[in-house]
Structure 1
Amino acid sequence: MPVKKILITVTTYPLPSRSYDELVCTAGILEDGTWIRIYPVPLSFLKQVKKDTGFKKYTWVELDVKKRTDDFRPESYSPNNYDIKIINTLNTTNFWQERKDFCLKNVYTNKIKLLEDSKAPKNLSLATFKPSKITDFIVEDDESEWKDEWKEIRKQTNLFAEIQTDPEKLIAKVPYKFYYIFEDDDGTPSKLMIEDWEIFQLYLNCLRDNKNNKKIAIQKVKEKYFSEFTKQNEIYLFLGTTMQWHRRRSNNPFVIIGIFYPKIKAQYSLF
């Protein structure tokens, strides 16, 4: 498999409900606008490159990958190695125009069409979706500690072999689940969980900045993702399926794995 040039757009937060291979899932877009999923990405590698220039969102990279034979989803690949070549990062000037040129080449606006394409033979599992309206932002309680299965996975694999300290301490457990409720172009509603690393990190930052006050931290997250984004930003959702629910052909196997949020262009009158 030749080296692929990938625009990194997504890094999901590790969740214990995921299988070993999906503890950290990175996704991106190729030059023709098609999606690619890359896993596994070791957390030790991810933390290291984030300190430097690798795997930052909207960075073009070159990576040697191969198609996964154990995953029926066509976008799924795994790295042959982690010798990543950083090319450049796309900036946010002109309302994210450079990013829009690639991220918005193929956009879904209809839920039925998206779900049809997620079925065989296409088995589409990554997509950009433009909601017609975001109607609410929901926060639900989640477990405060990592499940035992997370700890067992850590014991049984070498995923954390390069990390010298306890990975549970490296990755904070956020005791909440975040959801968007939105409508498509037919007014059909959806409620999807947000699994993007950014929203969990925002919560942790707000918690730190507000003396561990969870109520204030949650309110700050909601202000950002609902009050601010829905008024000031043009929202597109990066959607991805979980292999478990996609294989089971659930009614909607998608979750929100990233949010694309350029500022709304102001409309100026000519008169």
Structure 2
Amino acid sequence: MPLTKVLITVTTYPLPSRSYDELVCTAGITDKGEWIRIYPVPLSALLGIRINGELKSMKYTWLELDLVRRTDDFRPESHSPVHYDFKDLKIIETIDTKKNWFKRKEYCLNEVFTNFDELIELSKAPTNKSLATFKPTEIIGIDIEDDDPEWKNEWKELRKQGDLFDEEKSPEILIPKLPYKFFYKFKDSTGKQRRLMVEDWEVGALYWNSLKSSEGDPNKALEKVREKLEKKFIHENDIHFFVGTTREWHTRRSKNPFVIIGLFYPKKETQLSLF
């Protein structure tokens, strides 16, 4: 079987689940322009991959690896690596942000939805679409809600079994639990206001970095998160959402099974910059 070429565009913050391999997943776009979900993936791969011994970000990197369609997941985009040790993984190249993300736009904005009702309809059987790029008509702002600061006991016990992919990693090491939930409020092309939870790894990292730079003050950290995701992004960046369904809520046929799994944020184009 030929290897699948994938441009990785999404790494989500790990969340507790009943099954180990639902905790960590990545998503991207194939060289044929099709969305694809890959899980399980090592926790370390969410942070990056090692190239010549140096840790590099995996996002917007073309990879080649052997994948197989998951038979236990009805979502058509869902695949698993044939080799869980990733021995067949080939790292091709990373797509840069030159010319305001020009090359990234070529793949990531190939199909863009603006009507969320249309996307929800496609998530129903028999299509079962579960990954897409969405462009909000208007971003209203973000909501931040308190969440349990500790992982559930079942997740802790699972992690004590050790990382499935890394025998050298201490089984006691846990990815820190985000003590908040982040949501974007927005309108689509129908004018309807919606709210989606953001599960992008970068948002989690933004909070922890902000907490560090705020000397451990969570209120100041949250203000920095809001400053970037709301004030700066909304006014300066052309925001698109990478959205995906959770298997649990998609299986239950929720009215809206989607969450935001990634943000695509080139600068807004001015009329002058088009020439």
| Correspondence list, 1:98-247, <5 A | 98-155=103-160, 159=164, 161-169=166-174, 171-247=175-251
Look up the SS of the partner of 1:131 in the other structure.
Answer: coil
CA contact (8 A) 1:54 1:86 kept: no
Deviation of the 1:163 alpha carbon: 4.4
CA contact (8 A) 1:142 1:177 kept: yes
The change in CA–CA distance for 1:245 and 1:9 in structure 2 (over 3 A counts) is same
**What TM-score results when the alignment is normalised by the length of structure 2?**
0.92
CA contact (8 A) 2:112 2:135 kept: yes
CA contact (8 A) 2:109 2:133 kept: yes
Matched with 1:25 is 25
Deviation of the 1:136 alpha carbon: 1.6
How far apart, CA to CA, are the structure 1 residues paired with 2:116 and 2:258? Answer: 11
How far apart, CA to CA, are the structure 1 residues paired with 2:6 and 2:222? Answer: 33
Unaligned runs of 5+ in 2: none
The residue type paired with residue 100 of structure 1 is: K
CA contact (8 A) 2:162 2:172 kept: no
Deviation of the 1:101 alpha carbon: 0.3
Matched with 2:14 is 14
The residue type paired with residue 67 of structure 1 is: R
Matched with 2:65 is 63
| Correspondence list, 1:239-258, <5 A | 239-258=243-262
| Cα root mean square deviation, aligned | 2.0
Deviation of the 1:227 alpha carbon: 0.3
How far apart, CA to CA, are the structure 2 residues paired with 1:235 and 1:229? Answer: 7
How far apart, CA to CA, are the structure 2 residues paired with 1:166 and 1:205? Answer: 24
Unaligned runs of 5+ in 1: none
CA contact (8 A) 1:32 1:102 kept: no
The change in CA–CA distance for 1:211 and 1:126 in structure 2 (over 3 A counts) is same
Decide which of 91, 95, 105 is 2:96's aligned counterpart: 91
CA contact (8 A) 1:107 1:129 kept: yes
Q: Does residue 78 of structure 2 align to residue 76 of structure 1?
A: yes
Deviation of the 1:17 alpha carbon: 4.2
CA contact (8 A) 1:53 1:86 kept: no
CA contact (8 A) 2:45 2:58 kept: no
**What TM-score results when the alignment is normalised by the length of structure 1?**
0.93
The residue type paired with residue 204 of structure 2 is: F
Look up the SS of the partner of 2:210 in the other structure.
Answer: helix
Q: Does residue 46 of structure 2 align to residue 40 of structure 1?
A: no
The residue type paired with residue 79 of structure 1 is: P
- Residues 104-155 of structure 1 deviation map (CA, whole Å, 9 limit, x = unaligned): 1111110111001000110000000000001120100000111012023335
How far apart, CA to CA, are the structure 1 residues paired with 2:6 and 2:28? Answer: 6
How far apart, CA to CA, are the structure 2 residues paired with 1:26 and 1:167? Answer: 24
CA contact (8 A) 1:160 1:167 kept: no
The change in CA–CA distance for 1:176 and 1:18 in structure 2 (over 3 A counts) is farther
How far apart, CA to CA, are the structure 2 residues paired with 1:23 and 1:129? Answer: 24
Look up the SS of the partner of 1:202 in the other structure.
Answer: helix
